Structure 1
Amino acid sequence: MSLRRIVVASAALTLAAGLAACSSSEGGDGTTLRIAASSTPHVEILEQIENSGALGDYDLDIVEITGEVDANELLEAGDVDANYFQHEPYLIDWQKQKGVDNLVAVADVHLEPIGLYSDKIDSLDRIEDGDTIAVPRDTTNFARALYLLESAGLLEMDVPFEDADLSVVTESNIKSNPKNLNIVGIERAQIARQLGDAQITAAVINSNYALEAGLTPAEDAIFVEEAEDNPFANLLVVRDENENDAVVVALAEALESPETAAWIEENYSGSVVPVHSTN
């Protein structure tokens, strides 16, 4: 059993080189799954599964995605066999925008509660009139951030979260903004770097990017999303033609196993939450 990992960054030359390296692997032989994944915690979870022996004779060829490389484009084009980085609302919106419907989720694995972070204030009550809040700019995470700010008591939305179509929510759905907050959309991979910007009071950051930036969501966020009944579980996604492949089924079962859930709980201390029980 072997594990290969390459890193694919956002630069075009690095991407091309990475996929060239990937294409020379033993992927496609029915025993090796080429999978694109975000580094933290996705690659770490995949490596733990591979190293534990849970996949038996199957191997993973991991393409570690950094920057803003579109892992769904890689999957839809056939450059990888699977990806592991996104939640269901994002997948639905991506396919709607691209006019495709052949990507399917085969496992729901973990939740990364998003949080509000700041290096200037340490509590919600210190947010002042006219302050700027940075949020992810992609459609579904933008909507998710607005509803987080509503949960924090900073905004009021015109549609309850449970009834909202996150693919169409915009700033126009803000019913009340009592502190006249300035909401600024930034690429989600870049938001953590903006905390030091003098113009930004606080930022809503996805937990994987917070972890990569050295933040501990369970400790450093001044407000965190609720995990219960949360629809943003991260998924293992494949093309529909491959969803019943033996290696895909094996990985899906390993990702949803009690052993993986226990490992997530032990290693991320609430910053990453397993969807399935450890029992």
Structure 2
Amino acid sequence: MTHTTRPRFGIMTAPSQVDYHDVLRVWREADSIPEIEHAWLFDHLMPIGGDPGGPTYESWTLLSALAAHTRRLRLGVLVTSNRFRPPAVLAKIAATVDIVSGGRLEFGIGAGSRPSHPLARREYAAHGLPFHDSAHAVGSLAEACTVIRRLWTEEEPFDFHGTYLHLTGAFGNPKPVQRPHPPILIGGRSSSTLRVVAEHADLWNIPGGDIDDAVRRSALLDRYCTEIGRDPASITRSVLLPVSYGRPGATRDAIGDAIDAGFRHIVLGLPAPYPADVARWVTDELISTSAEAVSDT
């Protein structure tokens, strides 16, 4: 994967409290604007904000539909909960989306919802999913990354017997379009997750808001990379920043702070409802001015 110093801007549309056609409208518009290079969904099965009984779409099903309706955007889920789907099944889902998109998938994954978030916790009980402790979540994430990469790249069936995952005769066919495999983005901020990032990720994402904390976490990731003999610069630093339609200046300031701190993969979270021509607004009010500021420095 090629890393550049030029910031790459994208959008995130949470597929919750919205209609499918609203999301499709925004993605189609963004697909026509070269300054917007990537687009993302999140991975929840029930709302974590707004009306708790409102609609929430399954992210990978929706992503496949959006992949079929776009031609240029890199796309992904920021980030997939490793708690929701067996990793070998997820590898199959992701390979399918990479094929549907013509090789545009960026594979985002994480340990899963924070146990302190009550609205995130309820979706596990509601769907019959176990909610293990953080050590289990992070350990199984590391094994999932290993298994998923092997399913994407190995030509012969294999067995895997880890602490958390056990597969017999595992084999992935068809393979993703991208070689050797789609870029792997891991999201999270805990020190244990950052060790998994150092081992497995091409990109690392952290939610913005506290840029000083993000900088400290990035420095910790550098240390973990050095400990295992990996060049820290080989992992692109990504940040999710919330967009304020009413206060674009505050969003521009947050973008500038993130870029100054070394984050070159910028995901702009769009709150719903989405105004008409929102992708063009984001480009003109946020991306273009931020890119100009970088070029002037």
Bin for the TM-score computed over the shorter chain: 0.3 to 0.5
TM-score (norm 2): 0.32
The structure with more strand, counted as a fraction of residues: 1
The structure with more helix, counted as a fraction of residues: 2
